[in-house]
Amino acid sequence: MMRSPQALAIAVRLPDGSVVLKDEPFTSLTARYPVLKKPLLRGPVILIEALVTGVQALTFSAQAALEEEETQLGWGSLALTLGGAFVLAFLVFGFLPHYLSGLSGRLLGHPLTTADFSFHLIDGLIKLLFILLYIWGISLFQEIRRVFQYHGAEHKSICAYEARQPLDVEHARQHCTCHPRCGTSFILVVLLVSILIFTIFFPFVPALTRTGFLNNIMQVLVKVALMFPIAAVAYEIIRWGGKHQDSFLARILLWPGLFTQRLTALEPDDSMIEVALEALKAVLAREAQASTAE
Helix axes 248-264, 227-243, angle to 10 degrees: 110
Contact of 278 with 22, CB cutoff 8 Å:
no
Distance CA 283, CA 281 (A): 5
pLDDT at 66 (0 to 100): 66
State the pTM of this model. Answer: 0.83
Helix axes 213-225, 96-108, angle to 10 degrees: 120
Contacts of 260 (CB under 8 A, 6+ apart): 132, 135, 184, 185, 187, 188
pLDDT at 281 (0 to 100): 94
Q: What are phi and psi of 25, to 5 degrees?
A: -65, 150
At residue 51, does pLDDT exceed 60? Answer: yes
The DSSP 8-state label assigned to residue 91 in this structure reads I
Contact of 287 with 8, CB cutoff 8 Å:
no
Q: Taking Cα atoms as reference points, which of 235, 239, 245, 229 lies closest to residue 196?
A: 229
Contacts of 233 (CB under 8 A, 6+ apart): 40, 43, 193, 197
At residue 110, does pLDDT exceed 60? Answer: yes
3-state helix, strand and coil shares in percent for the chain, rounded to the nearest 5: 70, 5, 20
Mean pLDDT of the region 224-238:
88
Question: Residue 120 — pLDDT band, cuts 50, 70, 90?
Answer: very high
Average pLDDT of the chain to the nearest whole number: 86
Mean pLDDT of the region 65-72:
58
At residue 257, does pLDDT exceed 70? Answer: yes
26 exposure class (CB count in 10 Å sphere: 0-12, 13-18, 19+):
middle
pLDDT at 274 (0 to 100): 95
